[in-house]
Amino acid sequence: MALFAKKPGGASAARKLVGETVSRRFDANPAIKRAKTDAAQVYYHADFLSPTACNALIRLIDANRRPSSLLVDTSGPNFRTSDSCDMDRWSPVVRPIDESIAALLGIDPAHGETMQGQRYAPGQQFRAHHDFFHEGETYWEAMMASGGQRTWTAMVYLNNVEEGGATWFPQAGIRVAPKRGLLLAWNNMNPDGSPNQRTLHEGMPVVKGTKYIVTKWFREGSWLKQ
Ligand SMILES: O=C(O)CCC(=O)C(=O)O
Ligand SMILES: [Fe+2]
């Protein structure tokens, strides 16, 4: 299929195009700021979600959360210690939010994976990782069949956290403290459409308070089955 890059981890015209169209759209939006780094395309939108929308999502996360999981289980027991939940994209609370995130990026909502809610209590974290798929891993074939590589990630912080819980990109030199309603989005690919290693990031441990976020991962192809 021409949509997907042929060389694992190599350049890709399709992924390059997604990077360009989304970043051009963000650059033209006065509510969106680009982070000052050349390592990756990272953008912020303050107050993207209203307090009411944030609270509605927090209620859903609290009602449905379970221990978070990982695609590969080789990272050790403390790698991702949060709780997660899949947000039902067709529910009347989730759907307009889900679609507004896709519209902000200008990506077809069908390319978005199920929105994931995450809750971190004090001490909980998500250690340094990439959101893109490592194309040599055993899971890659299944990912190819469900829309292919992840291009952009969009995350929204649903509450303020008393202490800790920042999202840290050590190689890009960016650290974002949780702030209710703030949307953070980044391109997991380089400008040529190859996976950008410098998007390595972690959800730092919460020290005081509880951190709630939602994460949207967008695929290069359709994640929803037609
Ligand atoms: O909790 C965070 O700040 C980061 C979450 C994250 O990296 C993810 O959900 O992929
Ligand atoms: Fe991540």
- With CA atoms as reference, report the closest residue to 142 among 41, 80, 72: 72
Q: Is the CB of 41 under 6 A from ligand 1?
A: no
44 near 35, Cβ under 8 Å? yes
Cα–Cα dist 37/34, whole Å: 8
Cα→Cα distances 43→21, 34, 82, 107, 215, Å:
14, 4, 24, 16, 15
Q: Residue 6's pLDDT is what?
A: 58
Q: What is the pLDDT of residue 122?
A: 96
Residue nearest to atom 4 of ligand 1 (CA): 203
Question: Regarding beta strands 206-208 and 201-203, do their DSSP bridges make them parallel or antiparallel, or are they unpaired?
Answer: unpaired
pLDDT of residue 72: 67
The pTM (predicted TM-score) of the whole model is: 0.95
Q: How far apart are CA 159 and CA 213, in angstroms?
A: 8
Q: What is the CATH number of domain 25-70+98-219?
A: 2.60.120.620
The domain ranges of the chain are 25-70+98-219
| Helix, strand, coil share of the chain (percent; to 5) | 25, 30, 50
213 lines ligand 1 (CB under 6 A): yes
Please report the pLDDT score of residue 226 as a whole number: 65
Nearest protein CA to atom 10 of ligand 1, as residue: 131
Task: Name the stretches of the chain with pLDDT < 50.
Answer: 1-2
Q: What is the atom index within ligand 1 of the atom nearest the CA of 178?
A: 3
